[in-house]
Structure 1
């Protein structure tokens, strides 16, 4: 049977156990049709690149499936009908990698990095006052008016002194 990888995103207001229950339902459907779940990874609650159905975060789940194409169509239909699932993507693959996915391995690297120390003070101001910002009450035009008066020897009205 062909191999597939399916990633689905569930709403952020459901619990991890409910997401696991959706994956269990897929596994039960596969087993009745003679397929199997070869890989199962919960990626956690992650931020979305853009809002989907008024949600900014979602629970991600990756499933490596060994199933018939008809069964995959039924799984996608079932996930589409489930109110908790926002998006589904299924790809046919040549082989299912048993090692943890890139998402999970990167998540472990972030935890190992640890605390880097406090930010340096004063160098990276936001531009709103402070050390790097403009002076309060300062008008650039006054400087140019004064410079023009000195160079020409005239007032700003164009009259000679």
Structure 2
């Protein structure tokens, strides 16, 4: 099956648990349509470069999946209909990278720099 990477932004007024439950919800949509979630990450609340729907910040989430195209289309359709999701980006990749994403690596590097002080 094809490999995909999905990134979406949820509204800033959600709690962290609600944003993480969105990841679980869309993961089950993929699983129900014969797909498989390889890895998912919650990146936290980040400031956006420009306002989207009058929001300056948003909850960022990332999902790596191994799913058929029909499952991805269904998940994207449900994301577009969901009121809490502001933006969606899906990319088809040849292979998934090992380890955490670049966003999570930056956070780890910041934590190690604080320890040295």
Q: TM-score higher than 0.5 here?
A: yes
How far residue 109 of structure 1 moved from its aligned partner, in angstroms, is: 1.8
Higher helix share: 2
How far residue 111 of structure 1 moved from its aligned partner, in angstroms, is: 2.7
Aligned-pair RMSD on alpha carbons?
1.6
Q: Distance in 2 between matches of 1:50 and 1:20?
A: 23
How far residue 72 of structure 1 moved from its aligned partner, in angstroms, is: 0.7
Correspondence for 1:28? 28
Question: Does the alignment pair 1:62 with 2:58?
Answer: no
Contact 1:3 1:96 (8 Å CA) reproduced: yes
Higher RCO (CA-CA < 8 Å; seq separation 6+): 2
**Could you tell me the TM-score, scaled by structure 2's length?**
0.92
In structure 1, list runs of 5 or more residues that go unmatched.
118-161
How far residue 39 of structure 1 moved from its aligned partner, in angstroms, is: 1.1
How far residue 112 of structure 1 moved from its aligned partner, in angstroms, is: 2.9
**Could you tell me the TM-score, scaled by structure 1's length?**
0.68
Contact 2:46 2:57 (8 Å CA) reproduced: yes
Mark the structure with the bigger radius of gyration.
Answer: 1
Correspondence for 1:53? 53
How far residue 20 of structure 1 moved from its aligned partner, in angstroms, is: 1.5
How far residue 96 of structure 1 moved from its aligned partner, in angstroms, is: 1.3
Q: Distance in 2 between matches of 1:84 and 1:48?
A: 16
Q: Distance in 2 between matches of 1:55 and 1:66?
A: 32
1:75-154 paired onto structure 2 within 5 Å: 75-114=75-114
In structure 2, list runs of 5 or more residues that go unmatched.
none
How far residue 2 of structure 1 moved from its aligned partner, in angstroms, is: 0.3
